[in-house]
Structure 1
Amino acid sequence: MQTIYLDYNASTPIAPEVAEAMKPFLTDYYGNPSTTHWAGKPARQAYEKARQQVADLLGCDPEEVIFTSGGSESNNHALKGVFFALKEKGTHIVTTQIEHPSIINPCKFLEKLGAKVTYVGVDRFGQVSPSDIEKAITNETILISVMHANNEVGTIQPIADIAKIAKKYNILFHTDAAQAVGKIPTRVDELGVDLLSVAGHKLYAPKGVGALYIRRGTPIESLVHGAGHEGGRRAGTENILLAVGLGIACELAAENLKNATTKELRDYLMRKWPPLRQEMSHYAVLRQ
């Protein structure tokens, strides 16, 4: 029996172009990218090219991107890194009740260390009100974290509006964009965020790789201390194979965002299935 896979929000297959680009790094380019001799240089060049490809998709400088093991690590690093860096200034974090467990659970962990967390509710369509976020802010708030697109119902949050509020109060703003990157535009300056999480396996890259955008000047503590990799923000010998895969996937995503094929297919489904149109017409994702 032929099967049809539709659970792309859970995980995508690896794109053929991604798999092909990764092959040489399984056999030929085995050098440590932190070395300066002939074996390490090709690895370093490939790694930095991948960083540039991620940065191009997000519209930021490559130095503002670090590679991680996935969306969960990126979210943990954003929350814990800011908390540890700014806890002398304040200990309050604002997030929502519908965040992914990789946001909710780190918040619960930080509460054990003295953090105060406000979990803002959403409306019946799963959307948070920027005014509710603003009402939750206190003079000790150091971070706001709101997901970009919901992994269950697809609701897109008003990230740019919330960013304006965060900037108004001089508060750092993070968004978990795992379900948005590669599907809709996620240019960091347009969104106005200070930190943004990427999960590779949501956009045709392998599982086990992701990225964290950290706006230049954002105070953040490292989660993994060691030899100073990733500009001192994440220690550990770089995983060239997975970084190359994520880089190519981001390059493909940037090209795909230029065409309307996905939108056309979605609209076709909506026209052919009226119950879906009636049920989902209010969700923000369907108004894009």
Structure 2
Amino acid sequence: MSNNEFFTLSQPEPGLAHLQFNQPERMNTMSPRFFPALRDAVRALDDAGETRVLVISSTGKHFSAGMALDTFAGQGAMLDTGSARTRLSFQASLRRLMACFSVLDEVRFPVLCAVQGGCIGGALDLAAACDMRYCTADAFFTIQETVIGMAADLGVLQRLQKLMPQGAAREMAYTGERLPAERALALGLVNAVLPDQAALLEHVLGLARNIAAKSPLAVAGSKAALNHARDHGVDASLAHMAVLQSAIFDTEEMGRAIMAWKMKQPAGFAPLAEIAQV
């Protein structure tokens, strides 16, 4: 579908998009230009309506070493907090960076993250914003920001304690120590640990195909309901569900799904509608 200096974006089959980081020689680190490139690519997939599931993977030994350290030396104006005016500007810039990962949570389709080797610093912020995470046996996760004297600020502190026990999330945040793959599985941060990168991709792409074969309306509605329930109480989430279900309940879609299930054949669901540009 498209290539750039940070990742390739392909469509292995209808409904399935695959975004793969392509800078293994740089440990797939994230420069300032990476963030809007990711945001715009993912948002374009959502706008078009054709994508039913997105897989994010990587190349080389490590998934990503997070924010490139030279970013902190080469972005003087962006990082200036020396006055009230520059602090306001800093806050606005940071909110825009946060939004580049929040888009993964906001799009209508599920996002599956396949991690090999290190998922470090900003890479863990990205992974935490995905719907599900899977990793290789040699993978590890770390909130690296603590080690370099700052608090992580792109969403991991807000999301991680909803993905795993709060005490474990706080230990990661306070110590900066590595969380190995098997411990990540035991704590619920990842759904499965695979022996190597080839097995990881095979497993995650297989799950993606399974999801892509389902009604995109049902999957998108499920993601919306799950996200709302994660961030609200049960009563508010049930009220939201009543409104949401009234919007997406489609007897023709259900009939198609039931027939395909009985016949053990693909249903051929229509894609979601495009999102109008404003």
TM-score bucket of the superposed structures, by smaller chain: under 0.3
Is the helix fraction higher in 1 or 2? 2
What is the TM-score normalised by the length of structure 1? Answer: 0.25
Which has the bigger relative contact order, CA under 8 A and spacing at least 6?
A: 1
What is the TM-score normalised by the length of structure 2? Answer: 0.25
